[in-house]
Amino acid sequence: MKDKKLIFILLCTALFVMPNFCYAEGEILDSDGDGLSDDLEKFYYTDPNLADTDHDGFLDGEEVNNDYSPHIGYKKRLHEYDYDKDGLNDWLERWFGSDIGKLDTDDDGINDFEEVMSGYKPNDTSTSTRFARKIVVDRTTQRLFYYVDGVKVANFPVSTGIPTMQTPKGEFKVTAMIPKKRYIGPDYNLPNVWWNMEFLPMYYIHAAYWHNNFGLRTESHGCVNMRYSDAELLYKSIDLGVPITVTGTTPSRYYVGT
């Protein structure tokens, strides 16, 4: 009976449904009557003896069932809060099966966010199983979105090609990775450019140190410019062959919204 109950608990957690729908009447233990079982209170690190952990006027069970965080008020969603501050928000922790209150769920020395970014399961020490990863560059909003297992894990501001030298639109993949590179052209000479990810001959996603207009306007001759730290994180998370989609419309007057 205990094994059967454990299976139901795990199933309910995986489906993100309230446990009341999984147990027959009388089988569930909900000490504070907030609609969240004591087992799931442990999973979400809420107080099993306090119906409203964050004192925002909403029951813990009601918040979790509607994808709101039970730890912080102001109607913050699970994806807007990171209980353990590991870089992976609570909605993503739930999606990938990691521990919301633990930086390194599988105790392998790599935090959950870094493992997910690299496509590994954060709750499994195996290095052979990977989630699919994908990069999407939106020229309209000047953003780069990074997907793992089909869900958006990161959102970075970027600067793509100016209107007369647009970043090519279409489906590509990472064809080369060069840590440090020099870019030379008719009107530029840029040494020591880090974290270069090629997706077409002469077109790269890379760090840029010569401006700070990421997410605001186009700047390049066709490459995708990123902040140094963002480019480094992306570079260290991907491999050759990772798909890249460039979509959207280049702002006609350089700035987003024009």
Q: pLDDT tens digits for 132-155?
A: 999 999 999 999 999 999 999 999
CB atoms within 10 A of CB 233: 20
Count structural domains, the chain. 3
Q: Are 174 and 180 in contact (CB under 8 A)?
A: no
pLDDT value, residue 128: 83
Domain, as residue range, for 222: 133-247
Residue 108 domain-assigned (yes or no): yes
Task: Kindly state whether residue 252 falls inside one of the protein's structural domains.
Answer: no
Cβ pair 71, 45 in contact under 8 A:
yes
Same domain, yes or no: 168 and 142 = yes
For position 8, what pLDDT does the model report?
44
Q: How far apart are CA 31 and CA 40, in angstroms?
A: 12
Mean pLDDT of 19-25: 43
Which pTM was predicted?
0.86
Structural domain includes residue 139: yes
pLDDT average, residue stretch 68-74: 93
Residue 143 and residue 122 share a domain:
no
Residues 141 and 223 placed together within one structural domain of the fold: yes
Of 96 and 1, which is predicted with more confidence?
A: 96
Domain identity same for 115 and 191: no
Together in a domain, 140 and 218: yes
* pLDDT surpassing 90 at residue 127: no
Q: For residue 46, is it within any domain?
A: yes
- pLDDT, tens digit, 9 for 90 and up, residues 184-208: 999 899 999 999 999 999 999 999 9
Q: Output the pLDDT for position 19.
A: 39
- Within this chain, do residues 121 and 141 fall inside the same structural domain, yes or no? no
Predicted pLDDT at 63: 97
Question: Is 203 within a domain?
Answer: yes
Residue 256 lies in a domain: no
The answer to whether residues 65 and 144 belong to one domain is no
Are 35 and 28 within 8 A, CB to CB? no
Q: What percent of the chain has pLDDT over 90?
A: 86
Same domain? For 207 and 226 the reply is: yes
13-16 CB contacts, 8 Å cutoff, 24+ apart: 13/40, 13/43, 13/94, 14/97, 16/67, 16/94
Residue 11 pLDDT greater than 90, yes or no: no
Residue 120: partners with Cβ closer than 8 Å, 6 or more residues away:
110, 126, 127, 129, 130, 131
Domain C-terminal end among 102, 130, 158: 130
